[in-house]
Amino acid sequence: MHWTDVTAQSLSHKGKKHIVSTGITPSGEFHIGHLREILTGDMIARAAQDAGLDVEFVFIIDSADPLRKVYDFLGPEYEQFVGNQLGAIPAPDEDGNPDWERFEKEGWTYANHFLEPFLKALNEIGVKPRLIDNLESYRSGRFAELSKIACDRAEDIRECIERISSRELPDNWFPWSPLNSKKGLDKVKVTGYDYPLVHWKDEYGETGSSDISKGEGKLPWRIDWPAKWGWIGVTCEAFGKDHGAAGGSYSTGREIAHLLGHEPPQPLVYEWISLKGQGAMSSSAGNTIGPIEALELVPPEILRLLIAKSKPNKAIEFDTGMGLVTLADEYERLAARDFDKELANDELSRRQRVQIEDAAGALRMASTVAGGKAQATAVTFRHLALLAQTKKNDEDVWSSLQSSGAIDAVTPELQDRLSRMRHWIHSRHFPAEMRITILEQPNMEMLKMFDDDEKKILANMTAAMEACVWDAQSIGACIPQAARDLDLSPRSAFKVAYAALMGAEKGPRLAPILAEMEQQEILSILRACMTSITE
C-alpha cells in the first residue's frame, strides 16, 4: 500500500471519525518545504476518506506566536514589535516597514501578509482545509478551559517537561505567557495566579493582570500544542523531525495531553525538503523557493507528486532544474500506465505488486481533485521545452505536435503546461543544459579558431543542409556525414556545427532543435559563417 493508505488503515482501527491537523507559524515567506507538512496532512486525510472514514482536515495558523527578531527582509522599525504576536502587528510594506495605514484601515496584519500567498498556492494545488487562527482562538476563549487546567497543574507540567526534555526550567516558569505592558510576550514575570487572572510584572517595571479567558497571552509552545489537540479534537498530525526527536515537543506534548485530560494524536514525522546544492530551506536566510514561484514553473500535480512519491521519513532534495524535468516526465509515465491491468496479472511477485500499488497511490495523491484521474499529455517536458524555445507562437507549437502525431487536439492541460514552461524558460531556474541559443550573427571568436579541416567541414555541411530533407533524422545524419566525406572524424562535424550555430563547443542535441526551426533561417546563419571565414 501507499504510505498514506498505511496511515489511513492505522486510523481506522481507532474509530470512524478523525481530524487530521497541520500548522505553520507565518513568520516569513512560506516555501515549498512548508508544503511537505500540509500536503502530508492533506494526503492522509484523502486516503482516510477513500477508506470510508469520516475525516476533516484542519490547518492551524499560529498567529499567536511572537515575532522572534528583526529578519533581514524587515526594516529597523520592527524592533519595537519583537516579542509581539504576529497576528497583532502591522504587515510590512514593499520597503519592509510597518504598513500602518492598511493595518488601521483593514486590520491587515503581519500574519495576513505572509499567509495570503500561501493560501492562494494551496487552493491551486488542491488543498482546502478548515482554517483555524490561533490568536483568534485564544481571544474567543477556546483555550480557556485547558489553559486553566495547565495553570492549576503547573508543577505537574514542569516535572513532565524537565524529566522528558532533560532541561531545567527557570524558577519563575509558569504555563502561561502573559502579554506585557507593550503587548509583547517577552521578559515578563508571573507574580501570582487566581483564575482567570495571571498577575505579572515586566522589564519596564509595569504590573498588570492577564485574563486567560480573553486570551491576553498564550500557553508556551510545549503546552499550546497539546492544548490544541484537545479543544480541536485532533487524532492525527504530521510534523517535522525536530518536533519528533527524543525529548522534543511531541514527547512532552503526548504526556501533557494526558495531564490536560485527552489523548494525543497519532503522529507522522516527516523529513525536510532541501534545495539542491543549497541545503535546508530557511525563510530568514533567504534560501527558499516559494510555492507560488514553484507553481509558475510546473503544474500543481507535479509538485504534489514530489511529496506523494516519497515516504515521509525520506529527505527530499528539490531541484528546480533538471530534477523538475525528470519529475514531470515521471508523472507522464505514471499517468500513461494502466495500473488495474498491471495488478490483474496473477504472476506478479509480492515485490512487484507492492511497487505497482505504491506508484498507483502516488499518482492518486498527485491529483488536485480527490478521486481525480490523471491524464497523460503524451508530450515530455524535454520536448515541450525544445518547442517552447524554438517556436515563438503557441500555435506553432501545437502545429508541430499535431503534424508529428504526438497529439490529436490541444487540451487545457497542454495549454497550461506550455504557459508554465515559457515562464520557467525565462526564470533563473531553467537548466543550462536545456537552454537553446541559436545565433543570429556569427560568433567571430569561435570562427577564428577553425583550422583548415574545420573550414572544409563547414562548407560541406552548408551544402548538405541545403539539400537535406528537413527532419530530425535527416539532419542528424547530415551533420556527421559532412566530416566523413572528407575522411575526418564525425565528432569534428558536431564541434563545427555547435560553434557555427550556437557559438559554443557543445550543447543539447542539435538535430531535433534544427528540425523545429525554419530551414532558411539555419542556412542563413551557416552562409554568414562561411562568408566570415573567407573574408
Confidence label for 437 from pLDDT (cuts 50, 70 and 90): confident
Helices within 199-268 (DSSP H only) = 221-232, 241-244, 249-260
Q: Could you give the percent of the chain with pLDDT greater than 70?
A: 98
Q: Could you give the percent of the chain with pLDDT greater than 90?
A: 81
Single-letter amino acid, residue 470: W
Cα separation, 452 vs 459, in Å, equals 11
Q: Contacts from 243-249 at CB under 8 Å and sequence distance 24+?
A: 243/269, 244/269, 247/164, 247/165, 247/166, 248/165, 249/221, 249/222, 249/225
Helix (H) or strand (E) holding 324, with range, is: helix 322-336
Helix (H) or strand (E) holding 514, with range, is: helix 510-515
The whole-number average pLDDT for the span 11-19 is 97
The whole-number average pLDDT for the span 32-43 is 92
**What letter would DSSP give residue 377?**
-
The whole-number average pLDDT for the span 100-117 is 96
Q: What is the pLDDT of residue 374?
A: 84
Cα separation, 270 vs 37, in Å, equals 8
pLDDT at 107 over 80: yes
Q: What is the pLDDT of residue 103?
A: 97
Confidence label for 319 from pLDDT (cuts 50, 70 and 90): confident
The whole-number average pLDDT for the span 68-97 is 96
Cα separation, 42 vs 241, in Å, equals 18
367-412 pLDDT, tens digit each: 999 988 888 888 988 899 999 999 989 999 999 999 989 999 999 9
168-215 pLDDT, tens digit each: 999 999 999 999 999 999 999 999 999 999 999 999 999 999 999 999
Reported in sequence order, the residue ranges of 39-122 that DSSP labels E, i.e. its strands, are 54-61
Q: Which three cell numbers stand for residue 344?
A: 490483474
pLDDT at 279 over 80: no
Cα separation, 193 vs 212, in Å, equals 10
Helix (H, G, I), strand (E, B) or coil at 14: coil
Cα separation, 287 vs 277, in Å, equals 11
Helix (H, G, I), strand (E, B) or coil at 206: coil
Which residues, 6 or more positions from 434, have their beta carbon under 8 angstroms from its beta carbon?
322, 325, 382, 385, 508
234-262 pLDDT, tens digit each: 999 999 999 999 999 999 999 999 999 99
Cα separation, 316 vs 273, in Å, equals 5
Confidence label for 37 from pLDDT (cuts 50, 70 and 90): very high
Helix (H) or strand (E) holding 491, with range, is: helix 490-502
Q: What is the pLDDT of residue 280?
A: 63
Cα separation, 413 vs 468, in Å, equals 35
Which residues, 6 or more positions from 1, have their beta carbon under 8 angstroms from its beta carbon?
9, 357, 358, 361
pLDDT at 163 over 70: yes
The whole-number average pLDDT for the span 474-495 is 94
Paired strand residues for 294: none
Q: What is the pLDDT of residue 221?
A: 96
Helix (H, G, I), strand (E, B) or coil at 359: helix
pLDDT at 285 over 80: no
> What pTM does this model have?
0.88
Strands 273-275 and 279-280: antiparallel
pLDDT at 286 over 70: no
- How far apart, in Å, are the Cα atoms of 140 and each of 135, 210, 216, 221? 9, 14, 11, 19
| b/e burial code for range 294-332 (CB count within 10 A of at least 16 → b) | bbebbbbbbbbbbbbbbebeeebebbbbbebbebbebbb
Which residues, 6 or more positions from 317, have their beta carbon under 8 angstroms from its beta carbon?
273, 274, 275, 276, 323
Paired strand residues for 199: 192, 209
Helix (H) or strand (E) holding 402, with range, is: helix 394-403
Most confident of 51-55, 408-412, 510-514: 51-55
**What letter would DSSP give residue 468?**
S
